[in-house]
Structure 1
């Protein structure tokens, strides 16, 4: 292989020499040849790929022209400017002009060697040379600089790039960039000079660049990047101005290479200035439909408030929106800031004028490597040709973010082809939309639980969602095939189909329980009512079969339970005075019983059993459910991902009874409000409730249609862990409870719940991707009818205790509090919930820890 730099030097030298020789030759010929002599023909020699006519088209002379040394010299320069030739010369043979050329080789392959930190595809996006392109030394040297810059942005300043080429037949070459990456150039320390109000540690947390530490192996922000320094200067300015320091400025930002040339010391010199408050705040406008005093009233800035730069931007957005409501789509709002150093106040006057009419010339979608353009465009509230509207652009950004397909969405504007035209660039960063989810929990009763499911929310980049879920846990097995098209028939109408089969058990298996087998299918439609509201309609047809697994009982010919008495000798075998007896219901393992030869074992809910619990056993049947429902949503959050203001509200109702065997009306309502308190501190409060009531011939709500809460829906309690439950209570002769055995959950026909959550910073390095939140859950489940409550029944007695089986329920408040920790790990988001019970009933089942994770693809 030959070095391109060596070849470049030879080529340039040859070019300069030949050019001078050509000029000298023409000048010598000009002394002996009459300038009026005419060129008879132009002959081309040395070309292999490029046709004669193409080369002749670059010349400034043609047959029939006179020999002109200046025009021929310009023709030579034109040939070199094309980049197609490594060498060229002109010669005169009588009346003929001979053009001799040496073509630049064609690049066969572009190869990168030694690169590990940056992959080949990334570098191919940056360089200009490409296979089947023309090889020129100047272009290769320019690409070397681009590769060096790419590595410097990645924090590698010791990188070296040596271009080499391998000649091939037919005037082709393989171009090889041999890269020696060198070590990553980190940031050993970040220091600040001149800061008195805020510590170095606090200021470091406000900028993007981080000091190099061993734990930041997942981040590149601790690599030195000179371009990032300017961004950090702006972040410091914003931080100080948002805390009242109007005069703040960054005097200098200096990066010094350490003596070992492995890291940089970064030093910021700042001038904090004094802290300012807002002074007089006014609104000035000459527009007829706008009232300055009314506009002043909508602003949240008050005289005497601490000056914050971001409140100026928020006020402009508020005034822009208010002007838009009044009918002014084009307004120009200019804040006039007048600082008063004597009083440390800043007077602000917002001048509102009717701005120039600007229209959207073009909308560019950038960065969507997977998602189709039309999926993004249909969420935008502006179209090409519409009037430019900042409020609608902000709404568009929120709608695109709400899709959940992108890690980040940014909308920027650039000048169009005319002053009244603007180009809108929507930049998105794709994120995985497939999800393989795992969930595990630790219950105070049942120890560990496990669940797994898989889904894809953006099928083939078309915005379609498909779920092929197989969920398996101790209590539930679920298979669900679901498909949803968000733009059915190219209209603003979502449609979907769902086929499912499930088997559920919400109680402890070892204590006997019900199992519910459900098979069904459904269809759904959804459409917007207004900008912030939408309505979803659905229909579902399903078959439910409920099987009560309470085991078997021993009965006699009359259908009564058979009891068994056992005598325990507690002393001398021949002295019966100290013997005790225990009487309990016989179980199948006691058969045959000599004193009851007709005894037999039957199912707990068998009609032959006289004392079978009617309220429980009436649920054991198979039914067809035909369910029609709707959901109304109202969303006024300021951000769909991390809201800091606004609210959302949802009302859902389902009616079963349009055919089938089941008749009920289920209603659920939920609403939440959000508030940003400080930076990175957000609070939310959600209230929800539900009620289900039978109608028609139904004599109650079957257990599989009732409400169950717990697990992820009520942290601190096990799945179906709170609410009505059958229990066995063992009491002594004085009536004191000795032991309580918790049996199956009964569910409830009503529930209420409130959830308060406070997200707060944990001061861990942001590269860890760990978020923390404090939560409080409060609510209850219950409200069963009398027909659903079994009377107490004695099932065993001894000389010391009596065991009673009964149903317990209460709408008394349950509450829990705890800490929720989320980790956005490289393997997917992981969440840990640690709970402490504040209020519960004796028969509730609790859990202190829950773990869940998902892997995205």
Structure 2
């Protein structure tokens, strides 16, 4: 008992002594005690860090009254500089305040010992600690862990990485890494146990973990990655869930080590396969339940698939969204019947209040006027919410070609039944000025000057001037376009042109002008026939339509008028008779009604959607030429894969052209052929690649008549392409990313086509395959493509390399 009393007394005495010494260092301010004025502030103990650098962090000043609280803040501020292991503040009796610091060691050298298979540069980068820096032991330890991870990523799973820090008398440190690499162990085998429903090869194809192969030293395939294994388990689990195995279990992968490598084993308990039982809709329905069930993909008796259930939730959510219920929730409730091996599904819907677009806010348009953006939007302020209209509006803005990127999002407001629509655009380059020269397949050497602006003064109007002078071509073309003429939905355009072409057997000169106009068919109404749809008034309380976009939403109808004077001259004496018969000057006055369809999601690099056109050119309203010429073209884009891990977007593009024409002025041989300047000449980068420009089509003998002999003699040398009245071209392309972030994509293609005098002879179609690169350059779309003919016939002219700038397929 006496011992405890003595111990307690000793503790009290120690506490009093400590309190005394603490108070004697920085005594608490006593209002009755004379305050100390700081005569000077000094720094001691610093060698590498300058005094002025430390003083910048101090609040205490000479001449001011000593304040322990301020001094405490100064000590903490010096610590936060990160250069010191210890900081003390001392106040002398004569009023001198000294901050005594102890600097952290300075790393003089980093030694790496035992590394031979992994480069020193990679280790230093992972370590993140270098010479001539302040020693931070925590950072060193973190860096060593990163080095260990680096070795694991390279396949050295048995590597041991230790480190030591030695501090010399000069307060300089040496950090030493001792590495024992061991043998590189890659995954020799990936195995599955318990899998019966799916083969081992099927499951291997799903996961990212792969066995080593011959190029593992380059690709690192076969390296064990535990994070990847965790993700693989999730992938396999999702696969089993999506095939009705709702009771499956997948254990953590087992890693077996051998001398020459690793084996990864996935142990699976599949359980029975379940099918869909009852499917019901509940909650707040906006239509007849039976009708709504028709849009649900899950049906009784199917294999239960989680992905299909998620699709149904999305479908119903979109259905309600398009009716104005932006915050509708669809909760899937499942009930597993172990006896029947079925899963009953109930989709319970809570629609919430109808939501309106409050304000439409446009951002990011530094040049483009707000109205140019707003006129492409399908929704109005105070109109019921529609998710489909948001998607369609974004695509419409992308198709203008004014913007690199468009994001359309919603933002909640302080009103429960209203959201703001945020349209954030990133403007792209819409104006170009080009002066240059080059060589183009088909046109020879060419000097080109081009000035164009698609978004003039930010009004969405376009103007362009193209002036080309080359060895085989001269162009002077000026175009004006206004997609919303006089703020209406009528598009207007005017073209002035003066072009010359030098072909193998003749020269062609065209001069004239054209006027064109078109209008969206969805807004076109024909009395009594109900064509087109009438928009609801702004602020209408009527539920928004949930109908899928129809063909009319993407169609425009229009008409064009052209007046052209054509001259055919410079005919080679050896040219065919059909070309010689076309020599001279004629005037063509034509009207061309047409329809276009464009549902692409992007103007320059579409990943889905279709662009097509149909037109009929009627010549004979005055002038010398009489003919009808109809053309149909289309290009369909289908997204195959969109995955950043594989570089970006993979797109299948299928396209084609059909053309047919008939002339009403008989030629010398009694045929109703089209005029030479309107005939179809196939071949080149824009039709059947691998064949020279304008080299495919009907041919006639190329003959020379010698009248100096009696009788005259006719000598024929080969044949000339005279053009066809009918043409057919089909293209199939696979577009894949190369450096998609820079606008560079690759293309592999198959082409087929030809021109014919009458009808289409499918046995005479030329075919080719090839590949190329496309770049959305600052000067416009650039294409370099190699084509290889598959069924070249005698007389065909081939051209493997095709080059083009400024045009897109």
Structures share a fold, TM > 0.5? yes
Residue 273 of structure 2 is aligned with which of 272, 275, 279? Answer: 275
CA distance in 1 between partners of 2:411 and 2:139 (Å): 32
Aligned to 1:17: none
Aligned to 1:347: 344
CA distance in 2 between partners of 1:218 and 1:853 (Å): 34
Matched, 1:237 2:251: no
Matched, 1:90 2:94: no
**SS state of the match for residue 301, structure 2?**
coil
Aligned to 1:669: 632
Matched, 1:811 2:760: yes
Residue 499 of structure 1 is aligned with which of 446, 457, 467? Answer: 467
Residue 719 of structure 2 is aligned with which of 729, 743, 746? Answer: 743
For the Cα contact (< 8 Å) 1:723–1:810, is it kept in 2? Answer: no
1:55-134 superposed matches below 5 A: 55-56=58-59, 63=65, 76=75, 79-81=78-80, 83=82, 85-94=84-93, 96=95, 98-102=97-101
For the Cα contact (< 8 Å) 1:244–1:275, is it kept in 2? Answer: yes
CA distance in 1 between partners of 2:408 and 2:333 (Å): 26
**How many residue pairs end up in the alignment?**
663
Aligned to 1:788: none
**SS state of the match for residue 748, structure 1?**
coil
TM-score (norm 2): 0.58
Deviations 1:263-286 (A, max 9, x none): 754433333333343333333341
**SS state of the match for residue 49, structure 1?**
helix
Offset, 1:83: 3.3
Offset, 1:347: 3.0
- Range moving further from structure 2, 223-232 or 178-187: 178-187
Aligned to 2:566: none
- Closer/same/farther in 2, CA of residues 31 and 540 from structure 1, 3 Å limit: closer
Offset, 1:710: 3.9
Deviations 1:218-272 (A, max 9, x none): 7566544333333333333333344444444432134566657xx7544333333
Deviations 1:311-344 (A, max 9, x none): 2333233223322322222221222233334444
Matched, 1:521 2:477: yes
Matched, 1:649 2:618: no
For the Cα contact (< 8 Å) 1:108–1:174, is it kept in 2? Answer: yes
1:839-854 superposed matches below 5 A: 845=796
CA distance in 2 between partners of 1:414 and 1:161 (Å): 53
- Closer/same/farther in 2, CA of residues 34 and 153 from structure 1, 3 Å limit: closer
- Closer/same/farther in 2, CA of residues 243 and 110 from structure 1, 3 Å limit: farther
Aligned to 2:250: 250
For the Cα contact (< 8 Å) 2:189–2:211, is it kept in 1? Answer: yes
Matched, 1:708 2:711: no
Aligned to 2:329: 332
**SS state of the match for residue 239, structure 1?**
helix
For the Cα contact (< 8 Å) 2:638–2:653, is it kept in 1? Answer: yes
Aligned to 2:199: 199
1:187-586 superposed matches below 5 A: 187-215=187-215, 219=219, 223-255=223-255, 259=259, 265-287=263-285, 289-354=286-351, 462=429, 470-473=438-441, 482=450, 485=453, 487-492=455-460, 496-501=464-469, 517-523=473-479, 525=481, 527=483, 537=493, 539-546=495-502, 549=505
CA distance in 1 between partners of 2:405 and 2:399 (Å): 11
Deviations 1:469-520 (A, max 9, x none): 73444785566555655544334556554333466xxxxxxxxxxxx63423
- Closer/same/farther in 2, CA of residues 742 and 231 from structure 1, 3 Å limit: farther
**SS state of the match for residue 298, structure 1?**
coil
- Closer/same/farther in 2, CA of residues 742 and 770 from structure 1, 3 Å limit: same
- Closer/same/farther in 2, CA of residues 465 and 396 from structure 1, 3 Å limit: farther
Matched, 1:48 2:51: yes
For the Cα contact (< 8 Å) 1:816–1:836, is it kept in 2? Answer: no
**SS state of the match for residue 240, structure 2?**
helix
- Closer/same/farther in 2, CA of residues 294 and 668 from structure 1, 3 Å limit: same
Aligned to 1:453: none
CA distance in 2 between partners of 1:342 and 1:279 (Å): 12
Aligned to 2:136: 137
- Closer/same/farther in 2, CA of residues 728 and 822 from structure 1, 3 Å limit: closer
TM-score (norm 1): 0.56
For the Cα contact (< 8 Å) 1:144–1:161, is it kept in 2? Answer: no
CA distance in 2 between partners of 1:258 and 1:176 (Å): 34
For the Cα contact (< 8 Å) 1:58–1:78, is it kept in 2? Answer: no
- Closer/same/farther in 2, CA of residues 206 and 814 from structure 1, 3 Å limit: same
For the Cα contact (< 8 Å) 1:285–1:292, is it kept in 2? Answer: no
Offset, 1:212: 3.2
- Closer/same/farther in 2, CA of residues 342 and 812 from structure 1, 3 Å limit: same
**SS state of the match for residue 811, structure 1?**
coil
- Closer/same/farther in 2, CA of residues 237 and 500 from structure 1, 3 Å limit: farther
For the Cα contact (< 8 Å) 2:321–2:387, is it kept in 1? Answer: no
Deviations 1:363-384 (A, max 9, x none): 9x9xx9xx99999x9899899x
- Closer/same/farther in 2, CA of residues 524 and 656 from structure 1, 3 Å limit: farther
- List runs of 5+ in structure 2 lacking aligned partners: 1-15, 44-49, 508-568, 643-648, 704-715, 737-744, 776-781
For the Cα contact (< 8 Å) 1:543–1:623, is it kept in 2? Answer: no
Matched, 1:616 2:573: no
**SS state of the match for residue 210, structure 1?**
coil
Aligned to 1:781: 755
Offset, 1:617: 1.7
CA distance in 2 between partners of 1:420 and 1:145 (Å): 55
CA distance in 2 between partners of 1:652 and 1:176 (Å): 77
- Closer/same/farther in 2, CA of residues 718 and 326 from structure 1, 3 Å limit: same
Deviations 1:807-827 (A, max 9, x none): xx653334669896769999x
- Closer/same/farther in 2, CA of residues 638 and 546 from structure 1, 3 Å limit: closer
Residue 700 of structure 2 is aligned with which of 726, 733, 736? Answer: 726
Offset, 1:751: 2.3
For the Cα contact (< 8 Å) 2:322–2:388, is it kept in 1? Answer: no
- Closer/same/farther in 2, CA of residues 825 and 636 from structure 1, 3 Å limit: closer
1:758-797 superposed matches below 5 A: 777=752, 781-783=755-757
CA distance in 2 between partners of 1:74 and 1:850 (Å): 76
- Closer/same/farther in 2, CA of residues 781 and 381 from structure 1, 3 Å limit: same
CA distance in 1 between partners of 2:368 and 2:431 (Å): 12
**SS state of the match for residue 252, structure 1?**
coil
CA distance in 2 between partners of 1:420 and 1:118 (Å): 61
- Closer/same/farther in 2, CA of residues 219 and 494 from structure 1, 3 Å limit: farther
- Closer/same/farther in 2, CA of residues 41 and 148 from structure 1, 3 Å limit: farther
1:683-698 superposed matches below 5 A: 686=655, 688-691=657-660
For the Cα contact (< 8 Å) 1:111–1:176, is it kept in 2? Answer: yes
- Closer/same/farther in 2, CA of residues 539 and 645 from structure 1, 3 Å limit: closer
Offset, 1:44: 3.0
Deviations 1:684-708 (A, max 9, x none): 7645323467799999755354322
**SS state of the match for residue 235, structure 1?**
helix
User: Which structure has the higher relative contact order (CA within 8 Å, separation 6+)?
Assistant: 1
CA distance in 1 between partners of 2:109 and 2:432 (Å): 40
CA distance in 1 between partners of 2:164 and 2:407 (Å): 37
For the Cα contact (< 8 Å) 2:277–2:342, is it kept in 1? Answer: yes
Deviations 1:746-770 (A, max 9, x none): 122432445678999xxxxxxxx99
For the Cα contact (< 8 Å) 2:654–2:733, is it kept in 1? Answer: yes
